Structure 1
Amino acid sequence: MATPHSTSILSTKDLTKTYQSGDHSLTVLDHVSIDVPQGATAAIVGPSGSGKTTLLGLCAGLDQSTSGSVELDGKNISNFNEDQRARLRSESVGFIFQNFQLMPTLTALENVLVPGELSGTSNGSLTDRAASLLERVGLGERKDHYPTQLSGGEQQRVAIARAFIHRPKILFADEPTGNLDEEASVTVESMLFDLNRESGTALVMVTHDLELAKKASLVFRLKGGKLVE
């Protein structure tokens, strides 16, 4: 059952993404309109090739649509340039990738601090917050370990801590449990929903796991690039 919220953190209208290949065009997303209230949890589901990851990337400002609009945190980002989109992501957005995307030469703590380094806001208080987040995800004792010294589930927990370092208003997750075993998946799922409840951060995730999708307050189903009931 969806929880009522006052305003939207994310809204798309007739979002379309078409790729040109020679004389042919391929439409991977076809006039998709969704609405995610502040603090809500949403799952994007559908068969492989249905446009799920494309939709997530457009919503997060990682790519630009061919037509249609995306409103994120009250701003229409459809005509933003890359610098403007990057600034908004650093201010309001967290992202968890399926393959973790940790820097192999950095420790867990240093990986969590990367967003701060990139935005020029890394300082002592941010380091304290990074250490606290690693404690929160059960890795306080492993903050000085490198990714190769961590299991897949532990690496994903570092990625979650990194995504929350700037207290994002919305968190995007691409198959957050896709590369994990069952035990690690359960742990990561619990953390995502716990952090959502505790911080009020909206959660939008692409997943093939229908049991995980059922835990979300909203479910968007894609098929052939279109939103279906």
Structure 2
Amino acid sequence: MSNILEVQQLYRKFQSGDKTLTVVDDINFSIPEGISCAIVGPSGSGKTTLLGLCAGLDRPTSGSVTLNGIPLNPLNEDERAKVRNQHVGFVFQTFQLVPTLTALENVMVPLELRGEATKEVRQRATQLLESVGLGDRTHHYPTQLSGGEQQRVAIARAFINRPKILFADEPTGNLDTETGEYIEKLIFDLNEQQGTTLVMVTHDLELAKKCDRIIKLKNGQVFEDSHAEVQPETAAG
């Protein structure tokens, strides 16, 4: 099994006045294709910053990230955006839907940016919305949807381009417990069905234990890297 994500000697520093803050501090790990991995740690431990670096949303101060065999460091912003569009899916805590687009149109956006045929894109987007239980909400706008429904639209959008890897940043953080559990199952089900690697930032240790692997951060460093005690097939069922 090959690695889809490789992180080597990664640092991310920020200047705050006359002080230098090291948010990501010499992190090294690799993630094989198809597994689920949780990144956990206290607030301020560098989880979201690390996720952004892994996804090519931000540049490291030093070190390297290789995503699906592609070194991200040499790429400019347009080239990194192309890599994300071709290989990556995202699910954010705040949904990040376009308010002026319907649920269907929001899901279609990543493939439309590739210039793919509208009829085929619409068909796949409709199928994905049906798979997340929103077949009857395709023409609703985000303001007409509940938080859980908006997150389901975001998940459908994340899978529209058949991503090799899905990055999820606190995907259940803004949801009530019942809706959050539904979203968790949906993400794991799609991860298993499509063979998409899942890398998830979460503060929820119970959710993390449902992943194949847990990387724990503290003060910007990895202080534990382990397999979860629960087998993923049981946890995701």
Q: TM-score range by the shorter chain?
A: over 0.9
Which amino acid is the alignment partner of residue 43 of structure 1? A
Query: Aligned residue for 1:67?
Result: 62
Distance 2:111 2:120 in 1: 11
Q: Aligned residue for 1:190?
A: 185
Q: Unpaired segments of 5 or more residues in structure 1? A: 1-5
- Tell whether the 8 Å contact from 1:113 to 1:122 is kept in structure 2 after alignment: no
1:157 aligns with 2:175: no
What SS is found at the alignment partner of 1:168? coil
Residue of 14, 23, 33 corresponding to 1:19: 14
* Alpha-carbon displacement from aligned partner over 1:147-173 (angstroms, at most 9, x marks no partner): 111110000000000000000000000
State the number of aligned residues: 224
1:136 is aligned with what amino acid? S
Secondary structure, in 3 states, of the residue corresponding to 2:136?
A: helix
**Residue of structure 2 in register with 1:3 after alignment:** none
2:194 to 184, 194, 199: 199
1:76 counterpart (63, 71, 76): 71
- Residues 111-164 of structure 1: per-residue CA shift (max 9 Å, x gap): 001112222225211110000000000000000111111110000000000000
- Distance in 2 (alpha carbons) for counterparts of 1:59 and 1:65: 9
2:106 is the alignment partner of 1:111: yes
Taking only the aligned residue pairs, the percentage that are identical comes to 62
Task: Write the distance in 1 (CA, Å) between the matches of 2:70 and 2:14.
Answer: 25
Measure the CA separation in 2 of the matches of 1:24 and 1:33.
25
Single out whichever of 13-22 and 115-124 deviates more from structure 2: 115-124
TM-score, normalisation: structure 1: 0.96
2:123 matched residue in structure 1:
128
**Helix, strand or coil at the partner of 2:185:** helix
Q: Aligned residue for 1:7? A: 2
How high is the TM-score relative to the length of structure 2? 0.93
* C-alpha separation in 1, matches of 2:79 and 2:101: 28
